[in-house]
């Protein structure tokens, strides 16, 4: 694992755990206040989490050229995740407008 510095590994891993914690907090909040929009938001965050895991896996194996497919997978998951997050945010806006 010589490709990344210790500080970069720390940032990568803490960002991953922070994203997991954010998903759990949003899902828990959504279920406790019975807001289905927040539950959808938590689900929409999962592709970006998988994207981060793909990137970290590639780094664990020293950015091996044999695993270059992980980079393509990560890019695809990021695109899908960002679309899902945009749709979930739109859904939250619509729900909020209906409640006012």
Q: Are 47 and 76 in contact (CB under 8 A)?
A: no
Q: What is the pLDDT of residue 100?
A: 82
Q: What is the pLDDT of residues 77-91, one digit of tens each?
A: 999 999 999 999 999
Q: Are 12 and 19 in contact (CB under 8 A)?
A: no
- Domain definitions of the chain by residue range: 6-99
Q: What is the pLDDT of residue 4?
A: 82
Q: What is the pLDDT of residues 53-73, one digit of tens each?
A: 999 999 999 889 999 999 999
Q: What is the pLDDT of residues 6-43, one digit of tens each?
A: 999 999 999 999 999 999 999 999 999 999 999 999 99
């Amino acid at each position: 694992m010589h490709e990344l510095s210790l500080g970069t590994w720390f940032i990568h891993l803490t960002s991953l755990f922070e994203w997991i914690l954010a998903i759990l907090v949003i899902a828990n909040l959504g279920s406790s206040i019975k807001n289905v929009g927040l539950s959808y938001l938590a689900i929409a965050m999962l592709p970006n989490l998988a994207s981060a895991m793909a990137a970290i896996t590639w780094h664990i194996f020293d950015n091996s050229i044999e695993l270059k497919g992980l980079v393509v997978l990560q890019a695809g998951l990021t695109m899908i995740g960002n679309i899902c997050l945009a749709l979930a945010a739109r859904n939250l806006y619509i729900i909020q407008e209906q409640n006012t």
